Amino acid sequence: MSEHEDQYWEKIDDFLDGQLPQEERLAFEAQLEQEERVRKDLALQQQLRQGIAFGSQGPLRARLDRIQAEYQADKQDEGGKVVPMGQGLMNRWLMAAGLLIGALTILFLIQQPASNADLFASNYEPYELKTTMRGPDEEDLSSLAIEAYEAGNYETAVPRLEAALAAAPEQAALQLALAISQWENGAIAAAQETLTPLLEHPLLQDQANWYAALFDLANDDTAAARAHLEVVVSSGGVLGGKAEALLDEM
């Protein structure tokens, strides 16, 4: 495409975008009235843009093929010879088609619902024990269990938490920490069993149902996860918003 042709198509783009100065716009509108070729080139560019807006590769390909055929038919000289479409113009179409395909790919990825495993990964983090459960000088079973848990040493935390709960089974927060530790160690069934008694706990019901839902997502049990999340939402606690957002993603 020559520099003159390039400027010609840029002027068409500017006209469609409403960016031409008033004097140039009036001159271009007058040219449109007088020259059929300009009218057809304007329509061509509009169709190209519409093809992109349609968001479909199939219709765009057909549209480009039809436009090319019309363009070549209009460029026949008096001897009937077809003047090939300019490489620059073809490049514009190919670039637009490439942009469309890229946009469709991104749209496809965005529209794909997240898998249960993805939802688990994006929402799971270990339960945070309140450090006020122990004093700085305490060396009892609970403090040792909490120390291992907070350090992320779940293999050590499990037997320590089990021992602490055996001595003081009323410490529900330690039981939730035990479920998390078991999960982190790959003891899936044990983690879910440990969590079950807490699902109706007056203070930890929301947390227990939240983690139960996440465990169900990891196990690809959508129905069970929904049931637990609905409990969290209905309770109106601090986790309600997170549970509701997760339900919307499922």
Q: What pLDDT is recorded for position 139?
A: 54
Residue 3, CA distances (Å) to 6, 10, 55, 127, 216 in order: 5, 10, 31, 65, 63
User: What is the second-level CATH architecture of the domain 116-249?
Assistant: Alpha Horseshoe (1.25)
Stated pTM of the model: 0.57
Degrees, nearest 5: CA angle 87-91-96: 155
Tokens of 220: 């690809």
Question: Which residues have C-beta within 8 Å of that of residue 30, sequence separation ≥ 6?
Answer: none
The pLDDT of residue 250 is 87
Could you say which residues of the chain have pLDDT below 70?
Answer: 1-3, 51-112, 131-139
> For helices 205-218 and 188-195, what crossing angle results, to 10°?
160
| pLDDT of the residue at 207 | 96
pLDDT the model gives residue 210: 98
CA–CA separation, 46 and 106 (whole Å): 24
Give CA–CA dist 22/15, Å, rounded: 10
Model confidence over 81-111: pLDDT tens digits?
Answer: 434 445 555 556 666 666 666 666 665 655 5
Give the model's pLDDT for residue 47.
76
The pair of structure tokens assigned to 228 is 């637990």
List the chain domain ranges: 3-111, 116-249
Distance CA 199, CA 218 (A): 18
Alpha carbons 184 and 67: distance in angstroms, whole number: 60
Q: Give the pLDDT score at 75.
A: 52
- Looking at residue 81, its pLDDT comes to 42
Please give the pLDDT value at position 134.
47
Alpha-carbon gap, residue 14 to 21, rounded angstroms: 9
Amino acid 13: pLDDT: 87
